[in-house]
Amino acid sequence: MVSALLLARAGHQVTVLEKNQDFAREFRGEALQPRFLHSMVNEGLLSLVQSLPHESFSDLRMFYRGKELTRIGLSRLDAEFPYVTWIPQPTLLNGLYEEAKKHSNFDLRFGARVSSLLREGEKITGVKFAIGGGEESLESDVVIGADGRFSKLRHLLNSQLAYSSYDFDVMWFEMERPPSYAHGADFFLSPDMNCLILPKHPNKIQVGILVKPAEVKEQRKKGAAWIASRLKRVHPMFESFADELIDFKAFTVLEAKIEMVKQWAYPGLVLVGDAAHTCSPAGAIGVTIAVETAIAAVHVINKCAETGDFSKEALGEVQRLREHEVRRVHKIQRRAVGAIVGNPLTRRL
């Protein structure tokens, strides 16, 4: 939605195809790092983002069996924005959408599911999509594939991965914000499980249980009572949630995959965000990285529009600008896996 808004603001005719009927999302990336806010400053969107309902926190606390071990101040990471901003993804998307609607050259079609690509020779000239029980076609100078980690466009292109890593899952759930919860981000370590606790606007918390992929199936077999007893041992704040836990419907499992697509650009099409490179939840930087690539794509497309050149080589500038940084982030995330899932710290404690 960021790229659509910026392209519409630049005067291009923009149509967004959204497969869902609205922007409702659960347990998607909602943390916005300071560098995201710097990007918003550069694109003139900071006031819009800051006007949306949000949370901010500047501390990350680490606990072992309910006792605080250490506190990491995030203020030293950035002088201008010494905090992490937390905006529900539906809130952010709706805010960007409302701003984009102010431009007559912007359109969004909800419930539009892309089915195939339009081509003239090797050049991609648009898409076919199903909507309202029928099928329509949409032609364009360039197609932007911003359709996430399960990208339909990536599938239609038969895109190959440069690499993939899958080391853990996150079992997310939400609960009412307990009085004992201090505003911020907390990481709870215990011999039983590791949990990440984050604020969820306006009055809830979002909790992620970090497990190795095979453990999700094992925990389902052991049953809700088993996981409830472990949650109680992590911290007393989970007692009321655990007491009411009767099955696994309260949990949403996110596969924490890291993926890098080998080729982002094709004649008339470019992949951005999770469709091009998927980050794991480690470091809560996925949205920031995705938006940075989307912004880079806007600047490249603006140049392409000036020359009329939407070739693979011209659009490939997006990957040339962004791939090194994304690879660097992926490398850091892979290094963090042992600490957040493998429990080396709790073994020593």
| Tokens coding 177 | 């914000």
Q: Which CATH class is domain 2-58+86-163+259-340?
A: alpha beta
Q: 190-243, pLDDT tens digit by residue?
A: 888 899 988 887 888 999 999 988 889 999 999 999 999 999 988 888 999 999
Architecture of the CATH domain 165-255: 2-Layer Sandwich (3.30)
At 30 the pLDDT is 84
Q: 249-296, pLDDT tens digit by residue?
A: 999 999 999 999 999 999 999 999 999 999 998 888 999 999 999 999
**In angstroms, rounded to a whole number, what is the distance separating the alpha carbons of residues 319 and 302?**
16
Is residue 346 predicted with pLDDT exceeding 70? no
- Contacts of residue 153, Cβ cutoff 8 Å, sequence gap at least 6: 114, 117, 127, 143, 145, 147, 269, 271, 275
Q: 317-339, pLDDT tens digit by residue?
A: 999 999 999 999 999 999 887 66
At 214 the pLDDT is 81
Q: What phi and psi values does residue 232 have, to the nearest 5 degrees?
A: -60, -35
Structural domain spans, the chain: 2-58+86-163+259-340, 165-255
Q: For 52-195, where are the alpha helices, taking DSSP H only? A: 89-100, 152-156
Q: Which CA distances in Å does 81 have to 13, 33, 40?
A: 34, 9, 12
What sign has the CA pseudo-torsion 84, 89, 94, 100? positive
Residue 91, judged by CB atoms within 10 A of its CB (0-12, 13-18, 19+), counts as: middle
At 344 the pLDDT is 45
Q: 43-58, pLDDT tens digit by residue?
A: 999 999 999 999 888 8
What count of other Cβ atoms lies within 10 Å of the Cβ of residue 45?
20
Mean pLDDT of 93-100: 98
- Contacts of residue 83, Cβ cutoff 8 Å, sequence gap at least 6: 34, 56, 57, 58, 74, 75
At 27 the pLDDT is 65
Give the three-class secondary structure for 223: coil
